A and B are shown apart, each in its own frame.
Chain A
Amino acid sequence: MEAKGAASALGDEDAVIGLLKKINENLEELNRKLDAMIKMQESSKPIAKAITSGEMPLDVDTLLSLPDHLRKTALAICALGEATATQVAAETSRARAAESDYLNQLVSLGLLKKKRKGRDVYFYIER
């Protein structure tokens, strides 16, 4: 009876160690993800600022701080005023699907707004 109890205690100890190992692995994974997120935020501070404030106007200063692919799209919207992804794609000579993605990224950054008119989605700068 005593030996059985000792074996059971040892089994419990293994289970606890296994559990602790699993928790440690998860914490390390979480740390890696947090480090990557901090790195991303550091490398895109101006963009992060736009996201957090939601008040950054799409002027040349903001344009210059955008990554190249988004700048071309933003400049096209600045020129067109209000446009669909198809119209922007005609302006930039890039694929409509890519422009749609970039336009939605600019909306997420708080630099553009979008509205639906019938079947079309229009992107614009709120003045």
Chain B
Amino acid sequence: MATKAISFHSYKGGTGKTSIAANLAAIYARLGHRVCLLDYDFRAPSLSVLFKPNPKFWLNDYLNGRCEVEEALVDVGKGLGLEGAIFAGFADPSTRAIRDMMTKDRAWEMGALHRTLSAKRAIQRSLGADYLIFDTSPGIHYSSVNALASSDAIALVMKGDDFDMEGTKEMVRGIYDVLGRKAGIIMNKIPMGFVEGGGIVKGVEEELNIPVLGVIPCYCELMAIGGRSIYALDRPDHPFSKALEDLSKRIAGM
């Protein structure tokens, strides 16, 4: 199976991209797949909060040409009782690294696009990964658009209270449509009362002309843990984990 690359993206921040991406990676790995999860949010790295890695190289090093992508990956699935595997690449969360990434020029970004596209090939060749998951920076930034351009499909994560439809619509038309990528919407943190009936889904689908892949209700206990647990593994019977299992099948079929 060729590596399927999926970007988790949003117009605004705080929609739950990292949590959804990490949980889906765990679900695919539990099913026996080999998954590569890359933190491409270089402005606000957050995957390291979940896995607390001690990598030899960061993804920043890979993009700066200091190592091969395989050297920046950590086997984070070890000891989790998974049938498959999760290899994760992390964005350097230090202030120095974030500032460094903010000062890159267009010539550097051109090289970063080439290295991102090459990473997908290397991950397929040397890891035999079934899935490559990019957790991207919200909005239109070089790193996120580089990931979108390197992906086969885009999952647009929206939450219940930030329906900036005009901005999102502009982003879908100007980036997703131009790149010609398959896209689907994940509606996350939706208040329970709005989930039933399907009216909210129809409205968003009509506005953006993209199908809704799934609606995840808002669970207060998830907010309390603040992205420090992989719920799909720690509490597989929780409705959040069940909703993500359904989502994993729809995303696999994109």
Contacts and interface: CB of A to CB of B under 8 A. Distances in A.
Interface of A: 57-61, 63-64, 68, 71, 75, 78-79, 81, 125, 127
B180 A60 contact: no
A79 B121 contact: yes
Contacts of A81: 114, 118
A87 to B, nearest CB: 13
B174 interface: yes
Interface SS, A side: helix
A64 B175 CA distance: 7
B113 A60 contact: yes
A68 B121 contact: no
Interface SS, B side: helix
Contact of B114 (A64, A68, A71, A125): A125
Contact of B180 (A58, A61, A68, A125): A68
Given A63-B149, A81-B118, A58 B174 contact: no
A57 B104 CA distance: 13
Interface of B: 106-107, 109-111, 113-114, 117-118, 120-121, 142, 145-146, 149, 174-175, 178-180
Contacts of B113: 58-60, 63, 78
B178 A78 contact: no
Contacts of A57: 106-107, 109-110
A91 B106 CA distance: 25
Contacts of B121: 79
B174 A59 contact: no
B221 to A, nearest CB: 39
Contact of A127 (B110, B178, B180): B110
A64 B106 CA distance: 14
B180 to A, nearest CB: 7
Contact of B118 (A68, A79, A125): A79
Contacts of A125: 110, 114
Given A78-B114, A79-B114, A60 B109 contact: yes
B60 to A, nearest CB: 18
Contact of B117 (A59, A68, A79, A127): A79
B209 to A, nearest CB: 18
Contacts of B106: 57, 59, 61
Nearest to A111: B110
26 contacts: A57-B107, A57-B109, A57-B110, A58-B110, A58-B113, A59-B106, A59-B110, A59-B113, A59-B142, A60-B146, A61-B106, A61-B109, A61-B142, A64-B175, A64-B178, A64-B179, A68-B180, A71-B179, A75-B149, A78-B114, A78-B117, A79-B114, A79-B117, A81-B114, A81-B118, A125-B110
A59 B112 CA distance: 9
Contacts of B179: 64, 71
A125 B114 CA distance: 10
Contacts of A79: 114, 117-118, 120-121
Query: Considering the complex of A and B, which 4 residue pairs feature the smallest CB-CB distances, nearest first?
Result: A79-B117, A57-B110, A59-B110, A60-B145
A79 B119 CA distance: 9
A75 B120 CA distance: 13
Nearest to B149: A60
Nearest to B180: A68
Given A64-B174, A75-B149, A59 B109 contact: yes
A78 B178 CA distance: 17
A53 to B, nearest CB: 12
